[in-house]
Structure 1
Amino acid sequence: MENNVVIYQSNDGLVKMEAIVDASNETIWATQKAIGHLLGVDRSVITRHLSNIFKEEELDKKVVCAKFAQTTPHGAIVGEFQTRDVQFYNLDAIISVGYRVNSRKATAFRQWATSVLKQYMIKGYAVNQNAVSEQKYEDLKRALGLLENVFGQNLIMAEEQAKELFAVVKDYTYALDTLDAYDYQNLEITDTTLQEKFRATYESAMEAIQSLKEKFKESPLFGVEKDKSFHSSIGQIYQTWDAQELYPSVEEKAAMLLYLVVKNHSFVDGNKRIAATLFLWFLQNNGILYRPDGTKRIADGTLVALTLLIAESRMDEMDILVKVVVNLINRKQ
């Protein structure tokens, strides 16, 4: 193990986090004092939160705590040193406490953690220009395994969308396997549904949006159009070239509808929710939302994550993201 390695530093450089790196167990260890300094609170606050974490059985104290010998200057004898056992807490405990503490520094830490993990997921998984390497694939799964418990609890969250994103990524096994198996530039669209039972129109889509607004008592601005771009989004999924449809299958049309509604920002409020709802609405009306065994082709959580990934993507990544969506809902699933 390596001692006193700086693993975190605030943007202003005033707050640093030193910890013992335990490479063999893929974790780090820090004292309550160090955690308190990181989050800008007294050690007693850290003690209280850890006590609640163990009481609620969020974490197992025997697993996340360990005592290490620490040598410090003797308080009473000048020039002498003393060695004593000090309680340390691993990464699971540090993150769990970090999402409970309510302080400015804790908020900065949460924003940093969310940003790092979100960017890692986006760059290493969804919109990277290279295939996900086996090591990144395994690293991502380990990181998500750690976050599954943390983000699943009723904790103070830096941003609600991050909570949704990380809480559902465990449903991504098929998607990860798909992207691990193929180079992004070689993803193919296969096993799709060519026969349509339903053709979306602007009017029918707006009716679906209005129903959503009434059902969930959304804000007055929800579903209010900013411009005419939503007309274009509906028309674009049926676009043709030389008498041939550009998106011939139901799955491709659904994927494009999801992408366009997210990216065009046609509404004053609710663009992502509207996009996800219309995506499911389109699949349902075409009779392919469910598999023959009655299960959904795409989990609600996975759809949330896809919607967020599309929102974060660059415009030149449209084709690959559409292919990813199709590969998640085609008949091969």
Structure 2
Amino acid sequence: MSDKQNNIMIYEDKDGVTKVSVKFIDEDIWLTQNQIAEIYKTSQQDISFHIKNIYKDGELQDISTHKKFLLVKKEGNRNVKRNIDHYNLDMIIALGYRVQSDVAVRFRIWAIKRLHEYIQKGFALDDDRLKQGGNRYFRELLQRIRDIRSSERNFYQQVTDIYATSIDYDPRSNITKKFFATVQNKLHYAVHEHTAAELIHERVDIMKFNKIWSAMLTKLN
């Protein structure tokens, strides 16, 4: 394994927003203590100290975060093969909460924002990464959305089934129709903050816009 196969960067964009960029190999990232020290702008001794304490505290397990890879190192005029300790992304993240450096502070700011978004919204997305590629992850995201929508349909079906078991249930009555419409609208609003009627209205407007735009393009051509 080459010591240049993986990389991770913590930086600020032109607007001063902290970004974390990671290049994965085989769905994970493995770095040496020296490489991690370069990321957080600290010493290898500091990284080694924190790794020992992370294992001692039981925060992470050695077996799942630590591997030895054979690296070719130049020592004098010789190329020597040595088994070097490498640590995965879990350890790299954990070290970001312990190291005291400007880069580590920026990492913690970034991590807090992601965690806050996850706790508040129930999800956190890396928009830039999804736009640039990551086709497998995008397909996984779509599948998870489908699963969520399926559970919403199941919930709606359960509510309507319970109502249908009522002794005085009449599918033709105005009360029944109003009940189903109310439940449907509440579920729609919970998902996308629009009632069924509002959603239909928006989609009709979009369809009109698409037709007008298509007509304009046809005339131009």
TM-score by length of 2: 0.51
For 2:22 and 2:85, the matched residues in 1 are separated by 13
CA contact (8 A) 1:17 1:38 kept: no
Deviation at 1:116, TM superposition (A): 6.3
CA contact (8 A) 2:8 2:39 kept: no
* Residue equivalent to 1:10: 11
Residue 137 to residue 53, structure 1, CA distance change in 2 (3 Å): farther
Deviation at 1:188, TM superposition (A): 8.4
Deviation at 1:63, TM superposition (A): 2.3
Aligned residue among 319, 326, 329 for 2:194: 319
* Residue equivalent to 1:89: 87
Deviation at 1:48, TM superposition (A): 1.7
Q: Does the alignment pair 1:177 with 2:147?
A: yes
Identity of aligned residues (%): 25
Deviation at 1:50, TM superposition (A): 0.9
Q: How many residues align?
A: 158
1:184-225, CA deviations, whole angstroms, 9 ceiling, x for partnerless residues?
9x898551799xxxxxxxxxxxxxxxxxxxxxxxxxxxxxxx
Please provide the CA RMSD for this pair: 4.7
CA contact (8 A) 1:4 1:18 kept: no
* Residue equivalent to 2:107: 109
Residue 101 to residue 94, structure 1, CA distance change in 2 (3 Å): same
CA contact (8 A) 1:59 1:93 kept: yes
CA contact (8 A) 2:114 2:124 kept: no
* Residue equivalent to 1:29: 30
Q: Does the alignment pair 1:60 with 2:35?
A: no
Q: Following superposition of structure 1 onto structure 2, how do residues 152-301 of structure 1 map, counting pairs within 5 Å? A: 177-179=147-149, 181=150, 189=156, 191=159, 248=182, 252=186
1:271-329, CA deviations, whole angstroms, 9 ceiling, x for partnerless residues?
xxxxxxxxxxxxxxxxxxxxxxxxxxxxxxxxxxxxxxx9xxxxxx4238xxxxxxxxx
Q: Does the alignment pair 1:135 with 2:137?
A: no
* Residue equivalent to 2:205: none
* Residue equivalent to 1:128: none
Deviation at 1:43, TM superposition (A): 1.8
Residue 21 to residue 69, structure 1, CA distance change in 2 (3 Å): farther
* Residue equivalent to 1:121: 123
TM-score by length of 1: 0.36
Larger Rg, first or second structure (1 or 2): 2
Letter in 2 for 1:93: M
Residue 115 to residue 6, structure 1, CA distance change in 2 (3 Å): farther
Deviation at 1:4, TM superposition (A): 2.5
Gaps of 5+ in 1: 125-131, 141-174, 195-243, 260-309, 311-316, 321-333
Deviation at 1:89, TM superposition (A): 0.5
Letter in 1 for 2:89: L
Deviation at 1:12, TM superposition (A): 5.9
